[in-house]
A = this chain, B = another copy of it.
Amino acid sequence: MSNREIPETSPSEQSEAFSLAVDGMGGDGAPDVVVAGLAIAADRHPGMRVLLTGDEAKLRPLLARHPKAEAICTIWHTDESIPMDMKPTAALRVRKSSMRLGMDAVASGKARGVVSAGNSGAMLALAKIVVKTLPGISRPAMAAISPTIKGDVVMLDLGANVVCDWRNLVEFAVMGEAFAKAVLGLPAPRIGLLNIGSEELKGDEKLRIASEVLRESPLASQFHGFVEGHDITAGTTDVVVTDGFTGNVALKTGEGALKMATTLLRQVFSRSLVAKLGYLLVRPGLERMKEWLDPRRYNGAVFVGLNGVVVKSHGGTDAEGFAAAVDVAMDMVTHGFNDGIRERLSHMGALLSHQQSVAEREPAVIAS
């Protein structure tokens, strides 16, 4: 789309939906990083059309410097944006923030998904109110992909729900399975429920009930059962389901451990001239390893369980990382992620409500 077609105030005249709405003002490096990221993403997604929300006076000069981004972007101007440290309740009162316009675009069907590197609490709150939760899902979750020794793994929840019940965990399994199909392209992703190991210390009742329900569900053949922390990077399953508190800690602990390993490795290679020569000899392999573990490659957490595709980029990401978040959103839009969830839910519905009533009456029986 050329610059001349950009609407001055609103994109309502657009007849066809935009591929994505992008919050131009969200994130530590916005709007520069956002526009530079879109320029990278433009090459990877021919035909992508972006509705870019934010301050036109700031966005237009940046687009001029990135013609590839300019060619795909339509600006939807607003003066308002949500600071990174604003409380969700306050963020909900900002009626025309760049983030909210993006959500509005998804809710009204103007865009098929939205990407923002902004305040994650505000994003979750806005997504619930504006984009709304899918029928049959009690609470949206945050999902992302991480590297394993074998391939990638989808983890959820990563912090949207600090406390979960068995029903939430079952729903996360349904959503995670659809996510792994859409983004990892797996025909039948295997699902694990994160627990702690030894028999006698085994997790609490919600885990036992969730496991029981999944074993009887249409996902039974893909349900591996319980997995432990070390199974995440071992690639034991393609999806790892857990509550938001545990998932957030596990994700960050794993990232921290990898960072420690790479820091120590850097010290090994800079110890002496001989070690530096050694580095030169293994450089190609190390570069591939670095690329495999690159956190930017895994940027793009998804709020799943909503009536639309909502992708959260890390706030401190660079252009390459932002482009990865756009990749995730485009994969989900293209592969009908929400259709997959809806289909699963229609098969799970009767089972879930049956289990709910049994669990409420006789928890001990279900848990045994």
Q: Which residues of A contact B (CB under 8 A)?
A: 85, 87-88, 119-122, 124-125, 147-149, 159-160, 162-163, 194, 196-204, 228-234, 242, 244-246, 248-265, 267-269, 271, 274-275, 277-282, 285-286, 288-289, 292-293
Contact = CB atoms under 8 A, between A and B. Distances in A.
Interface of A is mostly: helix
Number of copies of chain A assembled together: 2
A250 B248 contact: no
Contacts of A264: 149, 289, 292-293
Given A121-B201, A252-B228, A246 B246 contact: yes
B198 A120 contact: yes
Contact of A286 (B202, B251, B254, B268): B268
Contact of A248 (B197, B259, B262, B279): B197
B249 A246 contact: yes
Contacts of A160: 201
B286 A245 contact: no
A261 B262 CA distance: 8
A277 B281 contact: yes
A159 B229 CA distance: 12
Contact of A203 (B162, B200, B234, B254): B162
Contacts of A200: 87-88, 119-122, 124-125
B261 A293 contact: yes
Contacts of A248: 196-197, 201, 228-229
A73 to B, nearest CB: 29
B262 A201 contact: no
- Per CB-CB distance, the 4 closest pairs between chain A and chain B, nearest first, are A121-B200, A229-B252, A278-B281, A230-B256
B256 A196 contact: no
B246 A267 contact: no
Contacts of A268: 282, 285-286, 288-289
A162 B260 contact: no
Contacts of A148: 260
